Amino acid sequence: MMDLAQSCAVVDGVLTIKKESGCTSHDVVAKVRHLLGGVKVGHAGTLDPAATGVLPVLIGRGTRIAEYLVEWDKEYRAVLRLGETTDTQDATGTVLASQVKDQVTLKAIHEVVGRFRGTIEQVPPMYSAVKVGGVPLYKSARAGKTIARDARTIVIHTLEVEAVQGRDVTLRIVCSKGTYVRTLCADIGEALGVGGHMLTLERRRVGPLTIDHALTVDEVVTRHALGRLGGDLMSLDRALDQLRIVVVDEQTADRVRHGAPLPAAKILRWEGAADAERGSHTPVRIHDTDGRLVAIGKCPETSGGALKVEKVLIDQEV
């Protein structure tokens, strides 16, 4: 049986890891890279060390598609602890203020939570990797500085109260990229007049990757030893299935494999949802007539122009 570390040069994709509390996303990537013998490994969508749940780990050519996966929406289960405000907006920080929660009713919790559904503005927390003036905010926070930062537009697709136990409120959240769940928790606590912070966070889903099909690092080690890890990889084509497809003949596919622009006249057909975005600069998958993913291209600024090849995802000789 061929060891995956030897065969991984032709096994590319996305591995769904169930990250455990206490390790960083970088720690997970380093362990998988070491396990696979130095193969390229990355991740899409960092989880804080205390958070658990789905971490998309990109294997081989999977590292080339990270920028296209950030558009995936995410689902979380978070516990908001009311009555305590911390400097980090989560349980790892120092408590800044405590208030009695007794005056907060279940009706008030549901009413306030409802205000945060839909398109909202959110100010990134000081303890985050967002850069202002080229300096990550968390570095300024550690130096005792508070930096003015602009609010960002995010979308909270789903926000439900799953349970209320004492001062702890369990929330189910489906949100767009760029959402800070701990800031959402802190903002809800503030709106309720008692403050709050995120006690725990579990990421349940990232795009099509769900926690039900996620593997812990220990399970990855076991499946690798059995030679079965390749079966757990999501293909690049499936990971990119939200992008439309253009189909080209083999001669054109060979040119695309070498990075040549794709003239509109060489496109045999378009595939994908009719209502999918097809504007200028929109990324699309380029398939050959056998259905193989050859590359990712970007639609031209003007109708009838050539598609620019951004990422070649197949060997020049196959």
Q: What is the pTM of this model?
A: 0.86
Percent of the chain with pLDDT over 70: 86
Residues 134-143 have pLDDT tens digits of: 766 667 667 6
Residues 38-75 have pLDDT tens digits of: 789 999 988 989 999 999 999 999 999 998 888 889 99
In this prediction, residue 300 carries a pLDDT of 79
| Distances 155 to 38, 107, 112, 121, 208 between C-alpha atoms, Å | 38, 24, 16, 9, 18
Full DSSP string of 133-175: TTEEHHHHHHTT-------EEEEEEEEEEEEEETTEEEEEEEE
- Which domains, ranges and CATH numbers included, belong to the chain? 4-70+208-237 (3.30.2350.10), 74-206 (3.30.2350.10), 243-312 (2.30.130.10)
The answer, yes or no, to whether residue 208 has pLDDT greater than 80, is yes
Structure token digits, residue 208: 């099509």
Catalytically active residues are: 48
C-alpha to C-alpha distance for 259 and 140, rounded to whole angstroms: 42
C-alpha to C-alpha distance for 64 and 290, rounded to whole angstroms: 22
C-alpha to C-alpha distance for 150 and 128, rounded to whole angstroms: 14
The answer, yes or no, to whether residue 10 has pLDDT greater than 50, is no
